[in-house]
Chain A
Amino acid sequence: MSESIDYTQLEDTELVARSKDQDMQAYEELVARHRDKIYARAFSMMRNEEEALDMSQEAWVKGWQRLNQFHGQASFATWMTRITINLCLDLIRKKKRQRAESIEQLDDDLGGVERQMDVVETNPTEGLERQELRAKIDRALDQLSEAHRTAIVMHEFQQLEYKEIAKRMNCSIGTVMSRLFYARRRLASLLAGLKKKDEL
């Protein structure tokens, strides 16, 4: 007699265990639960709906194939977002190679300008509603270089440490620190600018 399971009532850990036993319905439930988060992370990296969709779909396929490597040290959602970030990084690198342009080159181009930026001491986001702030951050992220945006996404949204980011971005910890620094200063400046514009 086959048992009827209500997958929506199961915890992620139980769904993961069942998925490891090739239960596709359990995996479908995991996809349904976390697909928006995975898509949002892919979008933060790629800034393009089509690529974000492709990357999130590929991440879920990879997730299924690598389920046996997931041992529950982090949450399933965190593990999935890491797969997504790695796939996005691969695509970004591939695109860079196609354009015959290195991330380092972009950094050099932007670094010089940002070094001259003033420190924004006042809080550029003061008084903003959470959702409003997120929308502003999203618009500002659009204006960062891929290298700076990637560093911000990995540090601020994925909460990865410097050395982990360096490993994934294939660069030194010093480079990660300077990318984060310039990215934050540029974001602060962009957010302050967006706030002023909205106040007019």
Chain B
Amino acid sequence: MELETQLSIQALIDGELSDAKQREVEQLIATDAGAKALHTGLSNTVGALRGGELERQLPESREFFWSKIADEIELSERREARAQARPAASVALWKRLLLPFAAAAALVLAFTVFQNEGPQVVRPINDNPGVESVADTELELPESLIFDMYQEDATVIWVNSETGVN
């Protein structure tokens, strides 16, 4: 007998067949000795297994077992509460760490821009192409820059030491 047929006989016992397939398999069992034997054997096993789980007693006292569960529930609730509080705390921490860096980076950037600012050539629009007019203008650096860092409650003052050297 093919495995598919054997599985159909089993499915009949388990009530997993459609009406049409059920009639077909019942017909087979009625006419085929092998199918009938398999049906009987499987039915006996299924009948024996029904409600055949061995009853077992949990090998710990009610109080001890419950105390472990209660502890675990309490622990997991505390863990959950901590996990929920964590994002807000981590954002505040990042803010605290990043703000000084951002301020320092802004300072360095400003300093670099002013340092690298060389003589700038300004070419005004010349209406007379015959005459070339070139004006060299050197940008003057300010004597000082003041940054207010409101969030840090601080003020940074940058003083240009080169001013007035010439």
Q: Give the B-binding residues of A (Cβ under 8 A).
A: 24, 28, 31-32, 35-36, 39-41, 43-44, 49, 53, 56-58, 60-61, 64-65, 115, 119-125, 130, 133-135, 137-138, 152-153, 155-157, 161-162, 174, 177-178, 180-181, 184-185, 187-188, 191
Q: Which residue of A lies closest to B49 (CB)?
A: A156
Determine if B69 is an interface residue (Cβ-Cβ < 8 Å).
yes
Once the chains are docked, how many angstroms separate the CA of A178 from the CA of B4? 9
Once the chains are docked, how many angstroms separate the CA of A59 from the CA of B75? 15
Report B21-78 residues with CB < 8 Å from chain A CB.
37-38, 40-42, 44-60, 62, 65-66, 68-70, 72-73, 76
Q: Are A187 and B49 in contact (CB under 8 A)?
A: yes
Once the chains are docked, how many angstroms separate the CA of A61 from the CA of B72? 7
Q: Are B45 and A188 in contact (CB under 8 A)?
A: yes
State whether A137 and B48 are in contact (beta carbons under 8 Å apart), knowing that A28-B66, A119-B41, A178-B7 are contacts in the complex. Answer: yes
Determine if B16 is an interface residue (Cβ-Cβ < 8 Å).
yes
Q: Which residue of B lies closest to A123 (CB)?
A: B44
Q: Are A120 and B65 in contact (CB under 8 A)?
A: no
State whether A135 and B73 are in contact (beta carbons under 8 Å apart), knowing that A123-B44, A187-B45, A188-B41 are contacts in the complex. Answer: no
Q: Which 6 pairs show the lowest CB-CB distances between chains A and B?
A: A125-B48, A138-B54, A40-B56, A39-B58, A123-B44, A156-B49
Q: Are B48 and A123 in contact (CB under 8 A)?
A: yes
- Identify B7's interface contact among A44, A157, A181, CB under 8 A: A181
A residues near B57, Cβ cutoff 8 Å: 36, 39
State whether A134 and B52 are in contact (beta carbons under 8 Å apart), knowing that A39-B58, A120-B41 are contacts in the complex. Answer: yes
Q: Which residue of B lies closest to A43 (CB)?
A: B56
A residues near B45, Cβ cutoff 8 Å: 120, 124, 184-185, 187-188, 191
Q: Are A31 and B41 in contact (CB under 8 A)?
A: no
Q: Are B59 and A180 in contact (CB under 8 A)?
A: no
- 21 pairs of residues in contact across A and B, judged by CB atoms under 8 Å: A24-B70, A31-B65, A35-B58, A40-B56, A41-B53, A53-B60, A61-B76, A120-B44, A120-B45, A121-B41, A123-B48, A124-B45, A130-B51, A135-B54, A177-B7, A181-B6, A181-B7, A184-B10, A184-B42, A185-B42, A185-B45
Determine if B14 is an interface residue (Cβ-Cβ < 8 Å).
yes
Chief secondary structure at chain B's binding surface: helix
Q: Are A40 and B66 in contact (CB under 8 A)?
A: no
Min Cβ gap B9→A in Å is 9
State whether A181 and B48 are in contact (beta carbons under 8 Å apart), knowing that A61-B76, A134-B55 are contacts in the complex. Answer: no
State whether A156 and B46 are in contact (beta carbons under 8 Å apart), knowing that A44-B53, A180-B10 are contacts in the complex. Answer: yes
Min Cβ gap A1→B in Å is 26
Determine if B11 is an interface residue (Cβ-Cβ < 8 Å).
yes
Once the chains are docked, how many angstroms separate the CA of A198 from the CA of B38? 25
B residues near A44, Cβ cutoff 8 Å: 53-54
Determine if B97 is an interface residue (Cβ-Cβ < 8 Å).
no
Q: Which residue of A lies closest to B56 (CB)?
A: A40
Once the chains are docked, how many angstroms separate the CA of A58 from the CA of B38? 41
Min Cβ gap B55→A in Å is 6
Once the chains are docked, how many angstroms separate the CA of A64 from the CA of B7? 40
Q: Are A56 and B72 in contact (CB under 8 A)?
A: no
Min Cβ gap A153→B in Å is 8
10 further interface pairs, Cβ-Cβ under 8 Å (given A36-B58, A125-B48, A188-B45)? A41-B53, A49-B59, A53-B58, A57-B72, A61-B69, A119-B38, A123-B44, A124-B48, A178-B7, A184-B45
